[in-house]
Every structure is written in C-alpha cells, then in structure tokens.
Amino acid sequence: MNIEKLKERVLSLVPDAQFEENKQFPVFIIPAAKLHELAKKLKTDEDTEFDFLFCLSGVDMVKYLMVVYHLNSIRLGHSLVLKVKTEDRENPSVDTVSDLWKTAEFHEREVFDLFGIRFNNHPNMKRIFLDDDWKGYPLRKDYIDEVNIIER
Amino acid sequence: MGYSRYDFTPLLHSIDQWLYSVMSPAWALIVELTLIGLAFLIFYALVGLFLVYAERKVCGFIQNRVGPNRVGKYGIFQTIADFIKLLMKELIGTKDADKLLYNIAPYIVIICSFMAIGAIPFAQGLLAIDFDIGILYIISVSSLSVIGVLLAGWSSNSKYPLIGAMRSGAQIISYELSVGLSLLTIIVLAGTMQFSKIVMAQENGWFIFKGHIPAIIAFILYVIASTAETNRGPFDLAEAESELTAGYHTEYSGIKFAFFYLAEYMNMFIVASIAATVFLGGWMPLHIPAWNGFNVVMDYIPPVIWYFMKTAFVIYIIMLFKWTFPRLRIDHLLTLEWKYLLPINLVNILFMALIVLLGWHF
Amino acid sequence: MNKDINAPAKQAEEVEYHVNMGPQHPSTHGVLRLCLTLEGEIIEKLEPHCGYIHRGIEKMCEKDTYQQIIHLSDRTDYVAAHMNNHAVCLLVENALQIEVPERVKYIRTIMDEMTRIQSHLLWWGCYGMDLGGMTCFFYGFRDREKILDIWEETTGARFLQSYYTPGGLMQDIHPNFQKRVKEFLKYFSKKLSDFDNILSNNVIFLERSRGVGYLSREDAINYGITGPSGRGSGFACDVRKRFPYSMYDKVDFKEILRDEGDTLARYQVRMDEMRESMHIIEQLIDNIPAGDYSAKMKPVIKLPEGEYYQRVETARGELGIYCISDGNKTPYRWKFRSPCFSNLSVLDRISRKCKIADLIAISGSLDLIIPDIDR
C-alpha cells in the first residue's frame, strides 16, 4: 500500500488520528485509547498486515510523553509509524501491544524503565535494566542525577 | 625369556629378607608398608604433575598453541608452580554446607584412585599386591569414587554442584557396566582375573591381537566407557564448565579443588593402565610368535618402559577425545550406554566365548 | 537473620528449583543473568535479567555531538563496531542528504563484511566452546586475529575502531590493505573446511543441535528476531536485501535462508554467511575506485529538525537507530533498536522444556552480545 492509501485506511479506522509529514514513513498520531484497537486491525487486516514491529521507543517531549511504534509488513513491504502521546507525567499509561507483537513485551518494559510510561495489561510490567528500587526515570529530560550526569 | 633379566622379584625379595633379618616381623611389616605407601605417594604426585603438564601440552598441540613454556625449560615446572599456588589459596566453603561431608569428599575421591594403583603391575614383580581377583578389585575400588563426587555435590549446599553430582551419579553407574563387561570379554579369553597371570598369558601376543575382532571391539568399548567413567570430555557432564560452571567441585577451592583435579588425572592414568595391561600386554614386550630375533631385540627394552609407553598411548587417545569432541547431552550419554555400548558388549562376550570354545584364538 | 530463610521448609513437591545462570557464568559471555526454574534438569521457565552493563548510552548520546556518538555506538555491539558506525553515519548522511564518494562506499562495504566474518568467527569459537569443544575457540580466534591485524593497520585499532565518520572515513586505507585482504580470503576459504571437520560434521554436535530450540517463522517475526537467527527460521529479514545501503544493491550475494528453525539451522546460516561475505569482498576488493576518503563536511554537524530512522544489517540482525533532532548539534532523542535485545526476548519461549545443556546451545545460537542488550 502506498502512503495515500495507508493514510486513508488509518483515518477511516480512527477518524481523529493526525497525519504527520515525514520523508521516510507515514506517521500517525493516535489517541491513546484507540491504539490497541487500531494496532490489532492493522496487524490482522490482510491488505495491511503489519506483522513486524521493528522498533518501539519512548520519547520525552517535555510537554508530553510519547511512544513511537515502527511497523513493517514483511509480505507487503510497507511501513508505518504510530505515535501515542500522553500528557500525564505523574502516572502516564498506554495500552500494551505485547499481545499482538511479542517483541513489544521487552521494549515496553524498557520504555517503562527509562520513561516511566506504564503499559496496561502488560504481563510483566517491571523494570528491565535498572534496579526495582531505582528512583526516577533516566531518559526523561527532567531527570537529575548529580553524581553521574555531568552538565556541560 | 629375555625380559626376565629385568625381573624385580629377586631384588624385592632380598630387601624383604634383609628387613626381616634385622628387626622383628611386626616392625618389618610396618616398615615395608610404610615404604610402599611412601613410594606410591611419590609416584602418585609425580604422575599427577606429569599428566597435568602432558595434557596442557597435548591440548596446546591440538589447538595450535605452544602450551606452557614460561616456568622452566618448555614449561616443565608449570604444574609445580600451579600446585604451589593452589596450596597457598584460601579455602572458601559455602554457608550451611555439611561440613564433615564437604571436607571428606575430596579425600574419598583421592583415596579411591590411590587404592587402585596398588594392584597395577608396573613390571615383572613390581606391584604392591597381586590379588587373584585383581580386575574385580580395581573396578570396584575405582567406581567407589562416585561416592566422593556425589557427596561433594550434595554437601556443598549449592545448586550447580548438585546437578553435576546427579549427572555424575547416573553417568558413572551406567558406564561402570560397559567397563566391566568389556574387561570380562578379555577375562573370558584369559581365564583369570589376576593381573600377573593376565600379563604372562600375553607373552606370545597381546590380547588385542590374540582375541580377534571381539578383543578389538572390547578395547574400543573400554576406551569409550572408561573415558566416560573418569568424567572426562566429551563425557565431562559432571563438571561441564559451560553449563554448570564447574559441576560438583564448583564450591571447592585451593588444595581441595586440587585433590579433585589430581584424582581426575589419576583415574585417567588408572584406566589407561588397565587398558594397557589387559589389552596391550602390560609390561610384556611385543612378541610375535616365530620371530625369535625380533622378540630378543624387543626383550632388551625394559618392561617398565613398555608399560609406560602403552599407558601413555592410551592416555593420549583419551586426551585427544577431550580436545576434539563437543560435549554430549545427558540423555544422549545414557542412550549411548544403554542402547549401544551395553548390547554390543553383551553380544561381544558371546562371540568371545565362542572363539575361546572353538579355539580360534591364537 | 532473615525470617524467610529460617521458616520451616515447604513440602518437597511445592518447592521450585531455581537456578541463577549468570551474571558470572562461563556461557552467558558477559553479564546476563538468566533465572531458571527447573524440574530436574528440564527448564520450566526462564526469565532474563539484564542491566548489569547498562551504561545509559542513549542518555549519553543526547549530550554528545554526532561525531562523538560514533564512538559510543562502537560500544554497544562491540564485536561489530564497524556496522554500528555505519548506521550512525548513514543516518547523518541521509538526514543531511550528503552523497559520499564511491570509494567510501566500497571500503565501508568491505569493512562491514569483514566485520561479519570476524563476528561470526568469534561466535563460532564461543559456540563450540559452549558445547564443550574447547578447540573450536582457538581455531575461531586464530583466524579472527588475522582480520583484526588487517584492521589495526588501517584503522589503528583492533576492536573499537570508530573508523567511519559522518561523510566518510577517518583516514584512507593502508597501502597493504587490498593485498592483505586478498591473502586472508585465500587463506580463509581453505580454513572453513577445517571448521566443518571439527564441528559441523561432528555427530555429537549434530545430535545436540538438530531439532533443539525450534523457532517458527511466525514467532520469529512476532518476536522481532532478525539476523541469522531469524533467517534460520525462514524469515527473510536481511536489511542488505530489503533496504539496500552502500554497495549492497550492486554486489551479487545470496540471502541465506533455512526453514528448519532449530539451532542447527541458525548455525548453518552463519557458516554460509561467512562464505557469502567472502564472495562480496571478492567482488569489491579489486575495484575500489580512486577518490577522496571523505566528503566535505562542516566541522559542526546539525541535523535539520525532524525524525530519522536508519537501519543496517549487523552480524546479529537489524540495528535500527531512531533519532529525533531539534536542530541542535546534539540529537534530542537517540534510540538504538539493538538486535540482541529483541533476540533475547524469544529465549524464554524456545528454551522451555529443554535441558540445561540445550539452553546453552540455544542461547549460543542466538549469538547474544550483552552490551548490545543493555546499551
């Protein structure tokens, strides 16, 4: 599917999705509540079939936190990026997609570990790199560690 | 025969006579036992040191390395340096280990291997005790070491050692069968279990040649099974360093670890000795019937040298196994024993019995 | 003393037997800890615990310029440093739309393929050692040294080269480079049969790896298993074919695929990949065009505002870099999508109901590099 058709498809599934200009991939900003539903459709529909989640990243944009899903279809060869924003910095949460793409299980744990974004329904929502009693979420922009981070 | 000129019996006999003539019989016995014990202790240590060095050189040869070459010429003092290091190391044990068994286990392992050397004939007349059930004695004594291994694994109060000990238990007990049966094949041929008689019976040809194909099969089976019995690669599942860190002796350090290490090499030496004695004629020089000139020349080489050459040959084969093969998995190991080695062995004994009955052997 | 320890022992059948494999363990090759729940010697459950070597490289990248990030990228998958550098360079070059000289593309491709060979050699040695064949380790390292020697001459380093820079290379190749690479290829094509003799054709090895750790194609895609591990399950995930970069669209090579999905298939994919890599180098080594070894670059690189994603095929799979730039000389967010991190996630699934010895074979066949998992 080319970008236009993908755009049509996503917008028909989630009318309040926003399309974002990007040279590489079609990017869509999806409301958090509709993510799982859309992801499931994109994965199971035969003409989209995004079966390969090749990257899942968290981003701290200061105003909001964001989770970015890079999807690819092995058979059809097209790619797509989904973004989910959450403005709640105290207790952010997004639905998990680890039931659709197993690889998300580890990547979501990583995002939780480093950004503090909790994924609902995740089978094992624990920190993956840091100790369980670690304070703060290191990849957030407001993270302060006076001992280890040297400001330049 | 010519080799009798190297007979140790008159020498040892005269020492015995002299001792009994200068002191009371009780003292003479004590002195004799002490001397023999001391001799074996020194021999044990020397063989251990040499084997560790030899293994490292063989391993280096196979792996395109030079092996130890820093301590002394060609690194010959490397093992001594290692031994001193191990002596000086702190003995660290685990908390809540069963102290008594934990400490006793390395000694059990080493005593078992120590007891076995006593019955091995190094040359004519040069053996501590000539049992008429020599083979049976060696098999039983060397298989006792599994107790030490099991105790070491269990008493360490640690998980890897326990898994290693369990593996070792299963392994040694099953391969004991093959070792016993392959030796039994030769006993059928020899008609005796006494080592001195077995060696003498090979005067006009070693058993591996005398016994036709069954003897060769028995030799191959024996080498495989005894490699497994001594916990050496590719059957080193009990220590399996990439799986169980160091298996049953993970929690041992310093000299206690050295005991396990030494015992492993001595067990290798013992199984190689048995192989050399039972299959390859022990200290008996190579004799070919009717080649009298050849036999006379062979007789000039002392039996002790024959014995050590043969043993070294078998040891080299066992070392070659370790450094060329990857390790088996526990179920493959048991499959190999129970489904292949054991049936082959049983059929092999029947064949050998047939050959002996029909007089087909040389 | 802690009360739990002294609490009365539970009934024997209730107690699960837990074993910690790692962080110090001979076969985890680094500081990975696998929590095993055992039933006898059979693995009921496996939980990886990572983070023992987590250095916060992504956080450090946010403070560093793009040239500096090259040096950090070396230290993620340290066995394939060139390839990580390649990903960073391509990302910057594509973002700035710089066309690098042909010579650079040739050299980079050759270097990448040499990296693949040496990385697979290291893996082969360690894998053999994991399975108990110590000799493999020395054979693998002996030949790997030869590649490192060639690199040392050109890049000045053996391990963490940081040889690529945005726009080109640190310096030109050494005059001996082509000659020595050809010598190596000639030497190595003979040695590969040695490898087959000592391990690939060994009955014990075949018994231990055939049918062990089966990973289906669906699972491979679902878990994001890329690289040789994915291709061993028939997942055609080679970035060099799917999204060609540098010279990969101009050279002739096969994507090695196998359908068996067991450890043996993953093993054979890597062995065949070494041959393919040699084939690629052979095509390029004589034809390196003359020219500059670097495009003209400004001393301070600032990427235009936006998001970039760049992937390369490393020796272990697809390395992705997701970068958000706010127009400064340092990236706003820098994420490594490391192949080993995804590959690790499948370990639990494919090693259940296996024996401990199988787990060693499986984790070896996934070729995990721990700093790449932790970053």
- What was the pLDDT predicted at C14? 62
Taking any CB pair shorter than 8 Å as contact, residues of chain A touching chain C are 22-25, 27, 51-55, 57, 59-60, 68, 70, 74, 77, 101-103, 105-107, 110, 114, 127-131, 138-139, 149, 152
Contacts for B356-359: CB closer than 8 Å, 24+ residues apart: B356/B188, B356/B189
Nearest to B322 by CA among B266, B274, B265: B265
Give me the residue from C41, C133, C358 closest to B326, CB to CB.
C133
DSSP lists the bridge partners of residue A65 as A60, A86
Q: What CA dihedral angle connects B212, B217, B222 and B223, to 10 degrees?
A: 110
Q: List CB contacts of B235: < 8 A, sequence separation 6 or more.
A: B171, B175, B227, B228, B327, B328, B333
pTM for the structure as a whole = 0.86
pLDDT, chain A, mean: 83
Give me the residue from C63, C318, C320 closest to A152, CB to CB.
C63
Q: Provide the chain B residues 224-283 that lie in CB contact (below 8 A) with chain C.
A: 233-234, 236-237, 240-245
Instruction: Quote ipTM for the complex.
Output: 0.86
Using CA coordinates, name the residue in chain C closest to A77. C242
Q: What is the pLDDT of residues B146-180, one digit of tens each?
A: 888 888 888 888 888 888 888 888 888 888 888 88
- What was the pLDDT predicted at B163? 83
> Chain C within 8 Å of B169 (Cβ-Cβ)?
no
Measured between beta carbons, the chain B residues lying within 8 angstroms of C16 are none
Q: What is the pLDDT of residues B2-43, one digit of tens each?
A: 677 777 777 888 888 888 888 888 888 888 888 888 888 888
C308:A24 CB<8 A: yes
Measured between beta carbons, the chain B residues lying within 8 angstroms of C360 are 242-243
Q: Which domain holds residue A65?
A: 3-151
Cis-peptide, bond into residue B302, ω within 30° of zero? no
Q: What is the pLDDT of residues C106-153, one digit of tens each?
A: 888 988 898 999 999 999 988 888 888 888 888 888 888 888 999 888
Nearest to B177 by CA among B130, B226, B215, B210: B226
User: Which burial class, exposed, middle or buried, applies to A147 when counting CB atoms under 10 A from its CB (0-12, 13-18, 19+)?
Assistant: exposed
Measured between beta carbons, the chain B residues lying within 8 angstroms of C204 are 234, 325-328, 332
Q: Residue C144 corresponds to which tokens in the numbers above?
A: 């790997």
| Residues, chain A | 152
Q: Residue C105 corresponds to which tokens in the numbers above?
A: 């593309």
Q: Residue C123 corresponds to which tokens in the numbers above?
A: 């893996």
- What was the pLDDT predicted at A5? 78
Q: What is the pLDDT of residues A65-118, one digit of tens each?
A: 888 888 888 888 888 888 888 888 888 888 888 888 888 888 888 888 888 888
C198:B324 CB<8 A: yes
Cβ distance B345 to B221 under 8 Å? yes
**Residue of C207, C351, C355, C363 to mutate when probing chain B, most B C-beta within 10 A:** C207
CB pairs under 8 A between B and C: 82
- What was the pLDDT predicted at C3? 43
Residue type, B24: S
Q: C187-206 as b/e, with b when 16 or more CB fall inside 10 Å?
A: ebeeebeebeebbbebebbe
| Closest CA of chain C from B34, distance in Å | 42
Measured between beta carbons, the chain A residues lying within 8 angstroms of C322 are 55, 57, 68, 70
Residue A1: pLDDT band (50, 70, 90) is low
- What was the pLDDT predicted at C101? 87
- What was the pLDDT predicted at A34? 82
- What was the pLDDT predicted at C2? 43
Cβ distance C19 to C31 under 8 Å? no
Model confidence at B108: pLDDT above 50? yes
| Closest CA of chain B from C106, distance in Å | 34
Give me the residue from A55, A130, A138 closest to C320, CB to CB.
A55
Measured between beta carbons, the chain C residues lying within 8 angstroms of A39 are none
> Chain C within 8 Å of B99 (Cβ-Cβ)?
no
Instruction: Compute the radius of gyration of chain B from its Cα atoms.
Output: 21
Q: What are phi and psi of A18, to 5 degrees?
A: -105, 140
Q: Residue C219 corresponds to which tokens in the numbers above?
A: 């699972």
Cβ distance A53 to A74 under 8 Å? no
- What was the pLDDT predicted at C1? 38
Model confidence at B90: pLDDT above 50? yes
> Chain B within 8 Å of C295 (Cβ-Cβ)?
no
Model confidence at A144: pLDDT above 70? yes
pLDDT tens for chain C, 375 residues long, are: 344 444 445 455 567 788 888 787 877 777 888 888 888 788 888 888 888 888 888 888 888 888 888 888 888 888 888 888 888 888 888 888 888 888 888 888 988 898 999 999 999 988 888 888 888 888 888 888 888 999 888 888 888 888 888 888 888 888 888 888 888 988 988 888 888 888 888 888 888 888 888 888 888 888 888 888 888 888 888 888 888 888 888 888 888 888 888 888 988 898 888 888 888 888 888 888 888 888 888 888 888 888 888 888 888 888 889 888 888 888 888 888 888 888 888 888 888 888 888 888 888 888 888 888 888
Give the number of other Cβ atoms within 10 Å of residue C304's Cβ: 11
- The CATH number of whichever domain residue A34 belongs to comes to 3.30.460.80
Of B6 and B259, the one with more pLDDT = B259
- What was the pLDDT predicted at B334? 87
Cβ distance C17 to B159 under 8 Å? yes
Rounded-to-integer distance, Cα C110 and Cα C99, Å:
18
A114:C374 CB<8 A: no
Q: Residue B43 corresponds to which tokens in the numbers above?
A: 């021999």
C346:A138 CB<8 A: no
CATH number given to C16-374: 1.10.645.10
Residue B199: pLDDT band (50, 70, 90) is confident
C63:A107 CB<8 A: no
DSSP lists the bridge partners of residue C37 as C18, C45
**Residue of B61, B239, B328, B329 to mutate when probing chain C, most C C-beta within 10 A:** B329
C132:B330 CB<8 A: no
Instruction: Compute the radius of gyration of chain A from its Cα atoms.
Output: 16
Measured between beta carbons, the chain A residues lying within 8 angstroms of C236 are 74
Measured between beta carbons, the chain B residues lying within 8 angstroms of C25 are 245
- Touch test C–B: 3 Cβ pairs or more under 8 Å: yes
> Chain B within 8 Å of C17 (Cβ-Cβ)?
yes
Q: H helices within C224-324, ranges in order?
A: 227-231, 239-242, 263-285
> Chain B within 8 Å of C207 (Cβ-Cβ)?
yes
Residue B362: pLDDT band (50, 70, 90) is low
Taking phi over 0 as left and psi of -120 to 50 as alpha, with beta for the rest, C261 belongs to left
Total domain count for chain A? 1
What percent of chain B clears pLDDT 90, i.e. is strictly above it? 0
Q: Which helix (H) or strand (E) holds C336?
A: strand C333-337
